[in-house]
Structure 1
């Protein structure tokens, strides 16, 4: 899934979890809690965001954990 900046330029893939991170930031930025002045981390911790954002946060955690898992060296790494 291509992700674009406001100027319309394609973002470069910097890490395996980059796509998930960008989508999570966009989801949190569009949530009502952040629009009312809350910070992203606090709104996510209090679960005052849509379920899609919570699912993306879980996916980002699993992606980052897979990067540190030595068993993943022998298997194909998960991309997004």
Structure 2
């Protein structure tokens, strides 16, 4: 039985690494990044219609995961996210 959270194939052991990778893949697959040559951050902040709702949901989930690292109550409840 494993007492730690397994991380995806990247081997990244930082908290919220799975959500980070999913958000990165989602943003890099959008037309905003591929065709318009904008950065992923610019695409998220500009509310470009080519960015799917899934990417915005992953951004919110990533934010909640990072915020839960600062909350002392989460030591008992566990991290949100993956």
For the criterion TM > 0.5, the same-fold answer is yes
* Equivalent residue pairs, number: 73
CA RMSD across the alignment: 1.6
Q: 1:56 to 1:68 in 2, by over 3 A?
A: same
Unaligned runs of 5+ in 1: 4-9
TM-score, with structure 1 as normaliser: 0.81
Q: Deviations over 1:23-54 (max 9, x none)?
A: 00000000010012111100001122110000
What is the rounded CA distance, in whole Å, between the counterparts of 1:21 and 1:53 in structure 2? 11
Match of 1:45 in 2: 45
Unaligned runs of 5+ in 2: 1-6
Match of 1:65 in 2: 67
TM-score, with structure 2 as normaliser: 0.79
What is the rounded CA distance, in whole Å, between the counterparts of 1:57 and 1:77 in structure 2? 16
In the alignment, is the contact (CA less than 8 A) between 1:47 and 1:54 conserved in 2? Answer: no
